[in-house]
Amino acid sequence: MKVFEANISHQVAIFLNDSLKKIISLELANQKIFDAFGIQCFFDNNEELETLKEVISKTQIVVKEPDRAEYGDFQTNEVLANKATLHLSFRNISPTVIVEPTCGKGAFIIASLRNFQQIKKIFGVEIYKPYVWETKFNIVNFFLENPDGAKPEISIKHCNVFDFDFKQIAKHYSTENILIIGNPPWVTNSKLGSLNSSNLPPKTNFKKHSGLDAMTGKGNFDIAESITLTMIETFQKMSGNLLFLIKNSVIKNIVYDQTQNKYKIASLEKQSIDSKKEFNVSVEASLFYCELNSVPEFDCQEFNFYDNKKSYQQFGWVNNKFVSKIDSYIHKKEFDGQCPFVWRQGLKHDCSTVMELDKVNGHYINGLQEEVQLEDDLVYGILKSSDLKNTVITQIRKFTIVTQKKVGQETQYIKSGYPQTYKYLLDHLPDFDARKSTIYNNKPLFSIFGIGDYSFKPFKVAISGLYKTFHFTLVLPQDNKPVMLDDTCYFIGFEKVEFAVYSLILLNSDTAKQFLQSVTFSDAKRTFTKDI
């Protein structure tokens, strides 16, 4: 049965119907619920009271559950929430104040009521009104099933988490033992922005990325990361703990930024869960745990949440280096350093249907299956991550038009020097104009990125940023022209083939592999970047 689009159990519906049917005052109704279950302001207004009374007095209404996955909304199941709180309870953690930002249907609130005996106050915040109701109904249901349980004061607020003043809680309950618990949305700011969601933090470059980084991938961040950092910052000086179910990438970022933030958190733990089993999604996620009000720590122990065994590895900062496996890194740390050959990312055009070509019987065919007449000069072979499987590349299957020799170069030269190429590009101008990234704004026509002198070095040693293999590939020129790599690949360019081969052998050695395994994160979107 559903009321206000929220699930309500038969037991709760009957209870509320019996308790409220004769009550017409909002104050009396709210007092009655508070006395019975500790929930403050159960109804916000008279209309809610009357609607609820009307609906639960009628026949059952079944409404299809809305799919809110696009909002990063993956509700924690009861078993997992219960196990997570029990996990804390076994460590003798017994909070007096519970805060669950983005509390959803209240799984962690119910689990906390079940497993912590000292709770005096619970705060839940949720932007989606049906979930506010469902949390309240679930609390009522819990106390109907557990009538002898201690009843703390409970406040479930219908509010955007970024508008809620958590500092007031930290101030008012500063001497209490707090537990910040929950499962903030697994979604990025750009995704929510595209859905016109209001559940977003104020727009700031909060990671202080510079220019191009802020405009491209690095400007995107997980809402959960923003919420977790807000919670840590707000409550770090209170004694207590934080337990959040978040993506592994978010945990990594929190530990990475800890060297700057120096939050008063310690005993950091990443307890891996099986997201497929728990949420039916393929996202690497874990329970992130830390102790508040501690001397700042900069590393994180990793565990498997289900087996209760000791930590299998540890990641974080070793001196001023961020590493994925501290134990192995310590034995290979002498290889951590810079190299005079600069690693580069391959070229980026965001217009593959026009810019990428196959060669069939000597003719270029684009992604629209059009046969294309071009001068050969601006056409180069190009390799993608999936092409970098062999140790040496001897054949090219794709080609690309390289419109510039460096970023920002004027492209009018194509018109006079390469009229067929210019006509082809101009005919497909709408495809270039449709490129969404702001990096192309106010740039010459047909601009590309990730291009420079280095792109034209004849010999390259390359690796895929996407694949989790530690295998480097030698890229040789084809028909006396250098071969390009796309922006999923990273490479160093050489004038001398010997230098490229020496580098290849060194990079494919067991020592290099062991070192790289100790500094790369297998669950990262890109295992390798030019920084790692």
Choose the stretch contacting other proteins; rule: CB under 8 A; options: 23-31, 248-256, 278-286, 507-515.
507-515
CB of 498 to other proteins, least distance (A): 4
The reply on whether position 336 binds other proteins by CB under 8 A is: yes
The packing angle between helices 26-37 and 46-57, to 10°, is 70
CB of 335 to other proteins, least distance (A): 5
The reply on whether position 502 binds other proteins by CB under 8 A is: yes
Choose the stretch contacting other proteins; rule: CB under 8 A; options: 25-33, 192-200, 338-346, 480-488.
338-346
Of 34 and 499, the one with the shorter C-beta distance to other proteins is: 499
The reply on whether position 503 binds other proteins by CB under 8 A is: yes
CB of 507 to other proteins, least distance (A): 7
The reply on whether position 338 binds other proteins by CB under 8 A is: yes
CB of 40 to other proteins, least distance (A): 53
* 91, 262, 497, 522: which one binds other proteins (CB under 8 A): 497
CB of 338 to other proteins, least distance (A): 7
CB of 350 to other proteins, least distance (A): 24
Environment class of residue 194 by beta-carbon count within 10 Å: exposed (0-12), middle (13-18) or buried (19+)? exposed
The reply on whether position 319 binds other proteins by CB under 8 A is: no
Environment class of residue 464 by beta-carbon count within 10 Å: exposed (0-12), middle (13-18) or buried (19+)? buried
Q: In what order do the strands lie in the sheet with 363-366?
A: 371-372, 363-366, 356-360, 398-401, 379-383, 484-485
CB of 518 to other proteins, least distance (A): 11
The reply on whether position 299 binds other proteins by CB under 8 A is: no
CB of 339 to other proteins, least distance (A): 5
How far, CA to CA in Å, does 338 sit from each of 71, 223, 334, 341, 530?
A: 41, 33, 11, 9, 11
**Token digits of residue 428:** 């497909």
* Alpha-carbon gap, residue 295 to 272, rounded angstroms: 25
Place of tokens 């329970």: 287
* Alpha-carbon gap, residue 461 to 480, rounded angstroms: 17
* 505, 514, 523, 524: which one binds other proteins (CB under 8 A): 505
* Alpha-carbon gap, residue 29 to 19, rounded angstroms: 9
Taking a C-beta distance cutoff of 8 angstroms, is the pair 310, 302 a contact?
A: no
The reply on whether position 509 binds other proteins by CB under 8 A is: yes
Of 110 and 483, the one with the shorter C-beta distance to other proteins is: 483
Binding mask 362-401 for other proteins (x = CB under 8 A): -----------------------------xx-x-------
The reply on whether position 86 binds other proteins by CB under 8 A is: no
By CB under 8 A, how many residues form the interface with other proteins? 36
Of 228 and 473, the one with the shorter C-beta distance to other proteins is: 473
* Alpha-carbon gap, residue 467 to 95, rounded angstroms: 43
The reply on whether position 501 binds other proteins by CB under 8 A is: yes
Choose the stretch contacting other proteins; rule: CB under 8 A; options: 164-172, 334-342, 353-361, 426-434.
334-342
The reply on whether position 495 binds other proteins by CB under 8 A is: no
* Alpha-carbon gap, residue 475 to 113, rounded angstroms: 61
196 conformational bin, left if phi > 0, alpha if psi -120 to 50, beta if neither? left
CA-based nearest residue to 366, from 401, 396, 394: 401
How far, CA to CA in Å, does 129 sit from each of 134, 139, 194?
A: 9, 16, 21
The reply on whether position 498 binds other proteins by CB under 8 A is: yes
**Would you say the C-alpha torsion 309, 312, 315, 319 has a positive or negative sign?**
positive
SS3 string, 289-317, reads: EEECCCCCCCEEEEEECCCCCCCCEEEEE
CB of 316 to other proteins, least distance (A): 16
The reply on whether position 330 binds other proteins by CB under 8 A is: no
CA-based nearest residue to 480, from 503, 450, 456, 462: 456
Of 334 and 479, the one with the shorter C-beta distance to other proteins is: 334
CB of 164 to other proteins, least distance (A): 40
The reply on whether position 490 binds other proteins by CB under 8 A is: yes
- The two most distant CA atoms of the chain are separated, in Å, by 90
The reply on whether position 212 binds other proteins by CB under 8 A is: no
Which residues, 460 to 479, sit near other proteins by CB under 8 A?
463
E strand intervals along 432-509? 459-464, 473-475, 484-485, 489-494
Which residues, 342 to 361, sit near other proteins by CB under 8 A?
343
Contact positions toward other proteins, by CB under 8 A? 321, 334-341, 343, 391-392, 394, 463, 490, 496-499, 501-507, 509, 511-512, 515-516, 519, 528, 530-532
